[in-house]
């Protein structure tokens, strides 16, 4: 079953979504895809974001769109790649802005696991993809599931910072109670758009300012040097 790797705390929060016809159709689709083709991330890594960031610990939600579709890259965390894997271009741009914004040196690899362990939910809107076929699993039910995740995080009593980069992510703003939470919108770090507003936007310091203004501890953005 597709949801076997999802931690119990998240299963409780998402029980309605997991019981829906949309999710059952998604299960059948992903199982068939794994039989016919190479699908990323692996079953083991599929719900890494949820294991590393328990529901109660979520302080920030950074929304991505689709997993990386190259071998050895995707491991269940939006924008992140496995330890030891070179950062893809969007992640390189994130690290450039991270250094400019908060003075964090650019790390040697692209693993964002340290952020996830501090309460940054690194959520893609679609959680699986066929090798070498970006967006190949879009429109098959993952969006219903991850919309439910966003709503569940929005239902938290403690204020959460939602970081929405690019028009795709910003369409999800309607799912968020912006009276209780902080929504930071900005340009996507993709090479196609980073120079048109992402560089110089200082999103990392903005997240920490928002957290601290609500009495919550900031994120330590440092990664492996």
- Residues annotated as catalytic are 66
Long-range pairs for 214-222: beta carbons < 8 A, 24 or more residues apart: 214/159, 214/182, 216/59, 216/158, 216/159, 217/59, 219/59, 219/60, 219/115, 219/118, 219/119, 219/120, 220/114, 220/118, 221/98, 221/102, 221/104, 221/115, 222/104, 222/114
Give the SS3 label for residue 69. coil
């Amino acid at each position: 079953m597709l949801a076997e790797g999802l931690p119990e705390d998240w299963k409780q929060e998402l029980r309605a979504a997991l019981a829906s016809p949309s999710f059952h159709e998604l299960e059948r689709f992903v199982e068939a895809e794994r039989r016919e083709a190479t699908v990323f991330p692996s079953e083991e890594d599929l719900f890494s974001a949820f294991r590393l960031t328990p529901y109660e610990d979520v302080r920030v939600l950074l929304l991505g769109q689709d997993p990386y579709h190259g071998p050895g890259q995707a491991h269940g965390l939006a924008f992140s790649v496995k330890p030891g894997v070179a950062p893809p271009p969007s992640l390189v741009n994130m690290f450039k802005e991270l250094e400019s914004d908060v003075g964090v040196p650019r790390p040697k690899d692209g693993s964002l696991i340290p952020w996830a362990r501090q309460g940054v939910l690194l959520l893609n809107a679609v959680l699986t993809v066929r090798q070498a076929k970006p967006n190949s699993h879009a429109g098959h039910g993952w969006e219903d599931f991850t919309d439910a995740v966003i709503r569940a995080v929005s239902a938290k009593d403690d204020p959460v910072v939602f970081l929405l980069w690019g028009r795709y992510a910003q369409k999800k703003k309607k799912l968020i109670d912006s009276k209780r939470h902080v929504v930071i919108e900005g340009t996507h770090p993709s090479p196609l758009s980073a120079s048109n507003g992402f560089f110089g936007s200082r999103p990392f310091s903005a997240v920490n300012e928002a957290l601290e203004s609500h009495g919550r501890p900031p994120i330590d953005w440092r990664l492996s040097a």
